Structure formats: C-alpha cells, structure tokens
Chain A
C-alpha cells in the first residue's frame, strides 16, 4: 500500500495524530486541573460575591 511513498504518507498522518492528539490531551488535563482547583476552593467555602449574595437571598 502507498508504494514507495509510504513513509511520507504515514509520517503525515502520524504528525496529525501526534500534534492534534497531544494538544487535545493537554487540553483535557488542563480542564481537569481547573475543575479540581474550583472544587477545592468551593469546599474551602470561597465563593464570588455574586454567588454568596445569591446564597444569602435563598
């Protein structure tokens, strides 16, 4: 398959997987880190003024 050009074709698709896949993985890890940080702050009782005001009203 792909005759003598196989290294160039496979290399191109591998580059897509590595670069876009690597970025996607980094984005997922970053998202999880931010979610964890938000959850930790909430468990410590830190809330934005607007959120705190809404809780008081409720």
Chain B
C-alpha cells in the first residue's frame, strides 16, 4: 500500500498543498524562538552573553546529524527497493545537511574563541563533525560525477551508509575520549543539565530549525523530481528527432 503514497506524482500533489503551511509554521516558530533567545533567555553565569550562540549552534549540530540519518534511511530505500523517491530524497538532503554542518562548525569556532581561547582544536567531537562535513562534500561530488541518476543513487547510497558509522562517533565522542567540547547537556539519559530558562528557547529554536530543514528538503525533492522529468523529456525529444532523421 505504501508504494501508492511513495510515488513522485503523489508527493508533488501533496507537497504543493503542505509546503505553504510548513513555510508559515517555520517563520512563526523562528519569530518566537528568536524573541526568546534575545529577550527572555538570560546570560549564562559563566559564559555570559556568548551562550546565545548555543541557540543556533546546537540545533544546527542536531540537524547536521538528522539530515544524514534521513539520507541513510533513503539510501536503504535506494539499495533495497530501488525506489525513485528514495533517490530523490537522498540527493535533496545532502546540500541541506552540509549547510547545517558548516553552520555548526563556524558557530562552534566563534563560540570556542572567547570560551576556550581558540577557534579550533583537533579533539574528537570537532574532528568527527569536520569528517561529517567532508563526507557530505564527497557525496555531493559523487552525485555530480555520474550522469545517470539511477547509477549515481546506488553509488551514493553505499557511500552514505559507510559514512553513517561516523554518527555514533560524533554522538559519543565526548564520552569515549577526553575532549575540550562539553558532554551532552540535553539528549542524555538523566534530566537535561540546562536550566529551563535556557532549555525552552533552545527547544523552540530546535523546532524552528527542524521545520526549516523539512521544508527545504521537501522543496529540494520537488526540484529534483522536476529535474528528472526535464532529463527524461530531453532524452525523449532527442530520440524522436533521431527517428525523424532516420525516416
């Protein structure tokens, strides 16, 4: 039954109806999140005002890994079911994930300088996130290197699943090794180690970033479906012109 819903035509119909609502929800959540970030959240007793970088750095880090998880799930769809929508999802997620990873790296460096005294250290958390960014870049390069989208999707799917090994390394790097980066404050077995006055703005900003990522992903998938239609029609037109020339 799910194949009835997971087809490009169905996706194009429903995404065109839902996207305006997602755009509205994203903007509204960002407005609330930014208000909380700058007007209700207090400065940290140790980090001072720099704690406001957390409200973009942490959601960007979560989204960097979330988009890679979406790509990995889609990669399974590509390899196991050879589903065209899975290929499209994989391809559309890569630049979005790369952008969030880059945001995470830059905001982390800008937070690190005043707090740690350096923009960068080669510790396990920072290095594994840099590796994630390089994997995203490699995946986008591989998409461009192979002309046939079906062949490219299978090659990318294998690379994506190999790169998935990096996600638990990122998550647990702060527990497995001595790192300058602090351990988990929100996503941990015990209660979050962050005061509610800072936790709530962080959650609202995380929801805003997630809505933005989902909206951009759906929009990117629509563009990719159209790109494939254009490619198919161009091939059809070329075939017809060849047939006419031969006749």
Where the two chains meet, the residues of A that have a C-beta atom closer than 8 Å to any C-beta of B are 2-3, 5-6, 8-9, 11-13, 15-16, 19-20, 23-24, 27, 30-31, 34-35, 37-38, 41, 44, 46-49
Contact = CB atoms under 8 A, between A and B. Distances in A.
B226 A31 contact: yes
A20 to B, nearest CB: 6
Contacts of B49: 2-3, 5-6, 9
Given A15-B107, A27-B95, 15 more contacts: A8-B114, A13-B56, A16-B107, A19-B102, A20-B99, A23-B95, A27-B216, A27-B219, A31-B223, A34-B227, A34-B230, A41-B233, A41-B234, A41-B237, A48-B232
B110 interface: yes
Nearest to B213: A20
A44 B57 contact: no
Interface string B40-68: 00000000111011001100100000000
Contacts of A30: 223
A4 B234 CA distance: 57
B32 interface: no
Given A15-B106, A19-B99, A23-B216, A37 B230 contact: yes
Nearest to A44: B237
Interface of B: 48-50, 52-53, 56-57, 60, 95-96, 99-100, 102-103, 106-107, 110-111, 113-114, 212, 216, 219-220, 222-223, 226-227, 229-230, 232-234, 236-237, 240
B154 to A, nearest CB: 23
- Sorted nearest first, the 3 A-B pairs with minimum C-beta distance are A34-B226, A12-B107, A31-B223
Contacts of B233: 38, 41, 46-48
Main SS class of interface, B: helix
A8 to B, nearest CB: 5
A21 to B, nearest CB: 10
A6 B53 CA distance: 11
22 contacts: A2-B52, A5-B50, A8-B113, A12-B56, A12-B107, A12-B110, A12-B111, A15-B103, A15-B110, A19-B99, A27-B216, A27-B220, A31-B219, A31-B222, A34-B227, A38-B229, A38-B230, A41-B230, A46-B233, A46-B240, A48-B232, A48-B233
A23 B219 CA distance: 12
A48 B110 contact: no
Contacts of A24: 216
Contacts of B234: 41
Contacts of A48: 229, 232-233, 236
Contacts of A12: 53, 56-57, 106-107, 110-111
